[in-house]
Amino acid sequence: MLTTIEKIVFVALALVSAGFTVHGFKLIIDSIRKGRPAPELKNVPASLLNAGVKVLFQQTIFKARKALSAIHMGLFFGLITYAFVNLFDVLEGLVPGFDLVYGGAHIPNAPTGLINAFNLIADVMSMFLLVAITVFLIRRFIVKDKALDYRENILLNPKVKAGGQQIDSLIVGAFVIMHVIAHLMSQSYRLTNGAYPFMPIASFLNSIFGTSETGVHVAWWISIGWVMFIIPYLSRSKHTHFFMAPVTLGLAKQNPRGQLDPAIPLKVIEGQKFDPGAKFIHDLSWKRALDAYACVQCNRCQDVCPMNFAEGAPLSPSALEVNKRYLLKEATFGSHPDRLLLPLTETVISAEAVWSCTTCHACVSICPVGNEPMADIVDIRRRMIVDGAELDSGVQNALQSLATNGNWMSKGKRLRGRWAKEMEFPVKNATEEPVEHLWFVGDTASFDERVIPNTKMVARIFQQGGLDFGIMYQNESNAGNDVRRVGEEGLFEQLVEQNMQAFGKAQFKQIVTTDPHSFNTLKNEYPQFGGKFEVKHYTMTLLKLFEEGKLTVKNKLSNYKVTFHDPCYLGRYNGGFTAPRKLLEMLGVEFVEMPRNCENSFCCGAGGGQIWMGKVAPGERPAENRIKEALTTFGESTNEKTQLFIVTCPKDMVMYSDAVKTTGNEGKIEVRDIIQLVAEAVGVEEPVVAEAVAA
């Protein structure tokens, strides 16, 4: 179709375009390779293939925003189809006689059926593409969906603030529209024999504009010319997403969610000494740089972040990713390699935002491309701690107490088992006599006066169910889950050593814990320190006791209407969704599910060291937001049933009891640990203590 001169021009332009593209991706890959080693991945081809399948079926985006995800799917399939469309367009231009209209009628022995099918798909997909891209452009530029924006107080690269992503979106949006229209026009101008049923849209255009040899040429050049411009441009825009998203998903973390990557890479590199955590961008592992290129700022992470709502803290996981990409881009494509030597807290995320993360994992779980912004945050904290950054006074007090007392509450070690000594029956010391279940109680359940009645009730129910259990009394130290997530890796290791010593003294078959945070680190992180135990959360142990008939429901609790809050470290981190729900079902309560449940549960705001913070961000707190959600779920109170907010984490007991008070909802909703309901249903009561007489 093309003239010889056109062909020469095309080849020349194609070479230039390819040159810029290769150069762009080389720079990207170089910038990724500058990162530190990441934990080793197993069977990479299989996981890439698996990711490919997920991408093909667009599985990971449907976790949220279903309608927009469907549009994304249209865009995705449209672009995939257009990759072939463009290939054939080029062939039509270069190979004389190669022409797919009318089923390839001019080509000898052409597979007409196949060509017809392809033409039909391409024609229909063109429409899909145009609709999808128009919806996205309307969403961004006319409706101005707030979800695509960042709040004022969030640190942003100046170029992002100046609308860098808007320009990217506009250019790529305009490209898609003009490219598709040009292609359709070039096809329609070719339809010299009138309508062709397998190209309904092109046929329709043909009925208006007719055929034109010049038209074919002009439209072809617009269509393909755009492609030659846009492909190298993609490597310089947020649309690296197209190429990097499947790769990132394929190379996503394989270790358990609840196992943080080490503070210093395990892989030893000759002549390189690593400090713990990250101060500069290349202190992060190469995968964290890859994250930045895969992220297209859909901001789903921001939607689910418990610290990103109302006036909250200045945290947005997606802003972190876009800032990282701009930092790398300015260093590689731009003229600012010097900015790589600025601390991350000045370039990608503010120190205040770093310290407001609850490590709830919602951003990581929701991310369609498998990014882990939370991992960056923990690494930045790690380095800040080692560098002696000024810490929040509450965090510092907690860490100091953890270092000296093994708990964050500034209580003496010997007081840990005091609640057990007050029991009406002896609680075994697992470090002195063998037990089947070693109960790892945790700090809050051991020391907090508000929670101790529940702790004692757990002991009574275990006793009632004939469970052979014991605790470690003063030998137990904080398990270190939140210490590690606050970034104090050295203290975490010290706590692990202390607990491992204690476990060494004890004889037991499995560990049961009342605290989801302890549960997580004992289950997922202690194995790396040689602590390979079977670890259960108490809801799992309770369920087993019921299923084995060792506990039986005597009183059905039909007078309660309850909802259940999934603790992050039991649910999202470790998939412990079913045991608490099954228990509630057995107890006979009326159960209603909050909109944000299981994998999408909303953090109480206490994790990752937040419960220690002396300074709290202004505005509504996550726990308050959650209590309101529960009340909305219950709907209009009928006053017939008591409305309960059920928790299975000692920290939740504290956080939500406070939130009920601060939101002024006392009397409407009551926070209870599931053990309180179990006790009521099983018929175990607190022993009657003779009332103390005031002196």
Partner 1 sequence: MNIVVAIKHIPSIADDLPVKGNNVDFDSVDFVLNEFDEQSIEQAVLVKEAVGGTVTVVGVDVIGELDNVLHLALAKGADKAVKITGDDPAADSHQQAKWLAEAIKGLSPNIVFAGVQASNDLDGQIGPMIAAYLDMPYIGGVSSVEVSDHTATVNKEFAGGFGAKYSVSLPMVVGVQAASKPPRYAPISKVRQVAQMATIEKVAPSGGVSSGLSFKKMAPPVVTGHAEMIGGSSKEVAAKIVELLKSKGLA
Comparison of 426 and 667: residue with beta carbon closer to partner 1? 667
Q: Which two tokens stand for residue 610?
A: 């937040």
The only residue of 276, 334, 527, 588 in contact with partner 1, by rule CB under 8 A: 276
Q: Which two tokens stand for residue 653?
A: 């007991």
Stretch that binds partner 1, among 87-95, 392-400, 460-468, 615-623 (CB under 8 A): 392-400
Given a contact cutoff of 8 angstroms between Cβ atoms, the answer to whether 333 and 236 are in contact is yes
- Residue type, position 163, single letter: G
**Stretch (H or E) spanning 591:** strand 590-591
Q: Is 363 in the site for partner 1 (CB under 8 A)?
A: no
Given a contact cutoff of 8 angstroms between Cβ atoms, the answer to whether 97 and 106 are in contact is yes
Comparison of 263 and 587: residue with beta carbon closer to partner 1? 263
Q: Is 501 in the site for partner 1 (CB under 8 A)?
A: no
Comparison of 182 and 384: residue with beta carbon closer to partner 1? 384
Distance between CA atoms of 294 and 322, rounded to whole angstroms?
A: 10
Q: Is 413 in the site for partner 1 (CB under 8 A)?
A: yes
Q: Is 262 in the site for partner 1 (CB under 8 A)?
A: no
Three-state DSSP at 98 gives coil
Q: Is 265 in the site for partner 1 (CB under 8 A)?
A: no
The only residue of 388, 549, 595, 664 in contact with partner 1, by rule CB under 8 A: 388
Phi-psi category of residue 149: left, alpha or beta, with phi > 0 → left and psi -120 to 50 → alpha = beta
Stretch that binds partner 1, among 217-225, 279-287, 303-311, 407-415 (CB under 8 A): 407-415
The only residue of 394, 490, 527, 588 in contact with partner 1, by rule CB under 8 A: 490
Q: Is 694 in the site for partner 1 (CB under 8 A)?
A: yes
The only residue of 174, 415, 452, 500 in contact with partner 1, by rule CB under 8 A: 415
Given a contact cutoff of 8 angstroms between Cβ atoms, the answer to whether 538 and 512 are in contact is yes
Q: Is 498 in the site for partner 1 (CB under 8 A)?
A: no
Distance between CA atoms of 512 and 476, rounded to whole angstroms?
A: 13
Comparison of 376 and 489: residue with beta carbon closer to partner 1? 489
Q: Closest separation between CB of residue 406 and partner 1, Å?
A: 10
Q: Is 385 in the site for partner 1 (CB under 8 A)?
A: yes
Q: Which two tokens stand for residue 516?
A: 């989801």
The only residue of 494, 597, 633, 642 in contact with partner 1, by rule CB under 8 A: 494
Q: Is 410 in the site for partner 1 (CB under 8 A)?
A: yes
The only residue of 205, 362, 391, 677 in contact with partner 1, by rule CB under 8 A: 391
Q: Is 671 in the site for partner 1 (CB under 8 A)?
A: no
Q: Is 284 in the site for partner 1 (CB under 8 A)?
A: no
The only residue of 299, 405, 475, 541 in contact with partner 1, by rule CB under 8 A: 405
Which residues lie below 8 Å from residue 544, measured CB to CB, with a gap of 6+?
none
Three-state DSSP at 447 gives helix
Which residues lie below 8 Å from residue 154, measured CB to CB, with a gap of 6+?
314, 315, 316, 319, 350, 353
Stretch that binds partner 1, among 131-139, 389-397, 538-546, 615-623 (CB under 8 A): 389-397
Report the site for partner 1 in 121-180 (rule: CB under 8 A): none
Distance between CA atoms of 99 and 105, rounded to whole angstroms?
A: 8
Q: Closest separation between CB of residue 488 and partner 1, Å?
A: 7
In angstroms, the Cα distances linking 128 to 78, 131, 226, 582, 660 are: 7, 5, 19, 44, 48
Q: Is 347 in the site for partner 1 (CB under 8 A)?
A: no
Which residues lie below 8 Å from residue 548, measured CB to CB, with a gap of 6+?
none
Q: Closest separation between CB of residue 610 and partner 1, Å?
A: 17
The single residue listed with the structure tokens 């976790």 is 63
Comparison of 405 and 539: residue with beta carbon closer to partner 1? 405
Q: Which two tokens stand for residue 666?
A: 């006392």
In the chain, DSSP finds a helix count (H) and a strand count (E) of 29, 9
Q: Closest separation between CB of residue 454 and partner 1, Å?
A: 17
Distance between CA atoms of 633 and 126, rounded to whole angstroms?
A: 43
- Residue type, position 308, single letter: N
The residues of the shown chain that bind partner 1, judged by CB under 8 A, are 276, 385-386, 388, 390-391, 393, 396, 399-400, 403-405, 410-415, 488-491, 493-494, 692, 694-695
